[in-house]
Amino acid sequence: MGKYVIAGNWKMNKTPAEATELINAIKPLVADASCDVVVGVPFIDIPAALEATKGTNIGVAAQNCYWEKSGAFTGEIAADMLRAMGVGYVILGHSERRTYFGDTDATVAKRVRGALDAGLTAILCVGEYLEQREQGITSEIVAMQTKIALEGVSADELSRVIIAYEPVWAIGTGKTATAEQANEVCAEIRAVLTSLYNEEAARAVTIQYGGSMNAANAAELLAMPDVDGGLIGGASLKPNDFATIVAAAK
Ligand code: PEP
């Protein structure tokens, strides 16, 4: 399916000095990775992360971006600003942004548009709350989030979109989806992509699983046919655990 990408989401952790230290610890452990490796760092850590990853196989992601290029938007960071710094990726629509900071399907779609226009690769997060899974509407929720976020995204641009399926109930909770549950929804997302684009384009998209993926469960999740990588929170802050996950992505 899509190429394997393991991306760390550091969330609101690490000062610039600590970011340098963590990347320096990760670097030698993932130097031989057969997948793409990305670290998603807080905005203020971006210069340090770019410097520490220079000449390595590690890409740098921001954790959000705004869609306007400039203007009176206090506290926001434009996608173009990230690109100008040399950032390659941006995580968008993470459930923590949707739950705590008011991101909606509509604003996530605008952020995706801004990111793609700026030349970034968007890591688009989708996923259901526990009540939605229990109501049996996981497929509908995830399909809706995917379709709205990709409104107006061309087949060409789709090559710069990574989708992270992250069941909200599994994020930071230590509760992982089973490999079968993860694969089932990732396959459904791929079917949505086939309906929006075509089979070839859908097969080329990297669809990650995220939600308490760790050194112990990564191999089983990553062995599933429709799981092309992982978005890793807690375990991405532990160099050896992150490296074990990277090594499992073959
Ligand atoms: C995340 O933040 O996207 C995530 C999956 O977190 P964790 O791995 O800690 O569940």
Do 42 and 13 touch, CB atoms closer than 8 A?
yes
Pocket-testing residue among 92, 99, 128, 171, ligand 1, by greatest number of atoms within 8 A of Cβ: 171
Phi-psi region of 76 (alpha: psi -120 to 50; beta: other; left: phi over 0): beta
> How do residues 184-204 score in pLDDT, each as one tens digit?
999 999 999 999 999 999 999
Residue 140 among the catalytic residues:
no
What is the reported pLDDT for 97? 98
Residue 184 among the catalytic residues:
no
What is the reported pLDDT for 175? 87
Pocket-testing residue among 163, 232, 236, ligand 1, by greatest number of atoms within 8 A of Cβ: 232
Angle between helices 138-149 and 179-196 (to 10 degrees): 40
A 10 A CB-CB count for 199 gives 12
- Find the residues whose C-beta lies inside 6 A of ligand 1: 9, 11, 94, 166, 171-172, 210-213, 231-235
Span 193-221, mean pLDDT? 97
Confidence of residue 1 (pLDDT cuts 50, 70, 90): confident
Task: Work out the mean pLDDT of the chain and round it to a whole number.
Answer: 97
Encoding tokens for residue 224?
Answer: 């599933």
> How do residues 55-83 score in pLDDT, each as one tens digit?
999 999 999 999 999 999 999 999 999 99
Span 117-123, mean pLDDT? 98
Atom 2 of ligand 1, residue of closest alpha carbon:
233
pTM above 0.85, yes or no: yes
Percentage of residues of the chain with pLDDT beyond 90 = 97
What is the reported pLDDT for 103? 97
DSSP the chain: -PPPEEEEE--S---HHHHHHHHHHHHHHHTT-SSEEEEE--GGGHHHHHHHHTTSSEEEEES--BSSSSSS-TT--BHHHHHHHT--EEEES-HHHHHHS---HHHHHHHHHHHHHHTPEEEEEE---HHHHHTT-HHHHHHHHHHHHTTT--TTGGGGEEEEE--GGGTTTS-PPPHHHHHHHHHHHHHHHHHHS-HHHHHHS-EEEESS--TTTHHHHHTSTT--EEEESGGGGSHHHHHHHHHH--
Which is nearest to 232 in space by CA: 221, 187, 223?
Answer: 221
- Rounded CA-CA distance 103/68 in Å is 15
Q: Which of 51, 94, 96, 128 is catalytic?
A: 94
Among the residue ranges 21-35, 114-128, 166-180, 185-199, the one predicted with the least confidence is 166-180
Span 173-184, mean pLDDT? 94
pLDDT at 206 over 90: yes
Atom 7 of ligand 1, residue of closest alpha carbon:
233
Distance 108 CA to ligand 1 centre (A): 18
pLDDT at 2 over 90: no
Q: Which of 140, 166, 199, 200 is catalytic?
A: 166
What is the reported pLDDT for 190? 98
Report the nearest atom of ligand 1 relative to the CA of 94: 3
Residue the block writes with tokens 């993932």:
30
Which is nearest to 26 in space by CA: 42, 7, 46, 5?
Answer: 7
Encoding tokens for residue 245?
Answer: 């996950």
Report the nearest atom of ligand 1 relative to the CA of 95: 3
Distance 230 CA to ligand 1 centre (A): 9
Encoding tokens for residue 73?
Answer: 């938007």
pLDDT at 174 over 90: no
- Rounded CA-CA distance 190/193 in Å is 5
- Rounded CA-CA distance 212/139 in Å is 20
> How do residues 88-107 score in pLDDT, each as one tens digit?
999 999 999 999 999 999 99
> How do residues 10-43 score in pLDDT, each as one tens digit?
999 999 999 999 999 999 999 999 999 999 999 9
